[in-house]
Structure 1
C-alpha cells in the first residue's frame, strides 16, 4: 500500500458549533514530504490531532497505515502511534527526565539495547547542537533547546510518519536550516513528513509540496525552490 494516510470527505465539528474542518480529501503517500500553512485558527492543530489519532472525525473516512481509524481497537492504538513521530508546539517533554532520557524514551519503549541507545541518542544530540546539554532537565533549557529535544525525540526511532507543528518556531535561521536538513535525511530513509509552519523562507528554500489550510479545507499550492 503506497498511501500512509488517506482522508475522504472528512469533517470535524466540536459539539454543536460549525465545522472546523470540512471536505478534507487528501493522501500522504509513502516517502512524501509536505509543508502545511494556514492562518492562526485555520485548524492545523486539529488536523494534526486527527493524524496522530488523538481525535476522531465527525464524518468521513480516515485510513492510516491501511487501517480504518474508527475500527482500530483501543489496545492496538499504542502500537500504531509508535510508528508516528510528533513534534508538538508545547514540546511535551517529561520534566523529571534529562535531555538524554527524553530522547531515548521511544527507543527504550521499543526494546532497543542500551549500547545502541547511547550511540544513537548521543549522535543525534550532537547533530541538533545539544551535545553539551545531555544531562540537563527541561527546566534548565531555553525554549529553543527544548524544541530541539522534542524534535530529536520525535525522529530518533525513524518513524514511518513524522508530524511537526511549527518545529522551527523558537530557533534561529541557522538551526532551522539544520533541522530541515535532518527532516530531509529522515525522509530519504523512507519517512513520510508533514510540517506545519509559518516560515515562508523555509518553504521557498526547500522544494517540497505546499498545502494551504483555508476555509476548513486543504488547497494545493504550486511553488518552486529558490536558488
Structure 2
C-alpha cells in the first residue's frame, strides 16, 4: 500500500499519464476504425479530466489496483468488427508501452546531457513503472480487462460465447483483484512480464547514453 510520502507524490503524474494515455488510445483507435462514439463523448483528448475516474484513482493509490473511465464504443460501427475490436483493445496497452519507452528515452537524454533533477528523475521513473504495469495488467484475459476482449475475438464462436458469460461476474472479479493487489501472488505473476519489458527499456536507455 502506498504511504503518503515522496513515492506517492512522484507517482501521481505516472498514474495520471498511464490512465490518460491508455483511454485516449482506445478512443483514437475506435474513431480510426469507424466508431465516432468516443468523439461524441468528448474522450478524444489527452485532458486527464475526461478520462480519470476518481474512485479508480483512489483505489490505485490504496490497493495498487485501479481503473479509469472506460471508453464506450459501438463495435457495430467498425469496418471489420472482430479485427477492429482487437485493434481497439490492443491500443490501450500498446500506448502504455510506448509511453514507458518515451519516458525512458527522455530520462536517458537528461542523464546524458547532465540534467538530473531528482524530482524529474523520480517522476519519469514512475511514469515508466506505472505505464508498464498498467499495460501488462490490462492484457490479462479476465473481464473487463482488454485482454479479455482480445481473447474473446480470437476464440471460436462457441468458446467465445461461453467465455463471454464471465463478464456478468466483473464486479466480483474486481473485488478479488482488490484483495490480491497487495499480495505477492499477483505481483510475482505480473513481474514475469513487467521485468523483461523494463529491462528492454533500460537497454535502450543504456544505448542512448553510450552514443
Which TM class, normalised by the smaller chain length? under 0.3
Q: Which has the higher contact order (CA 8 A, sep 6+)?
A: 1
Tell me the TM-score normalised to structure 1 length. 0.26
Higher helix fraction (1 or 2): 2
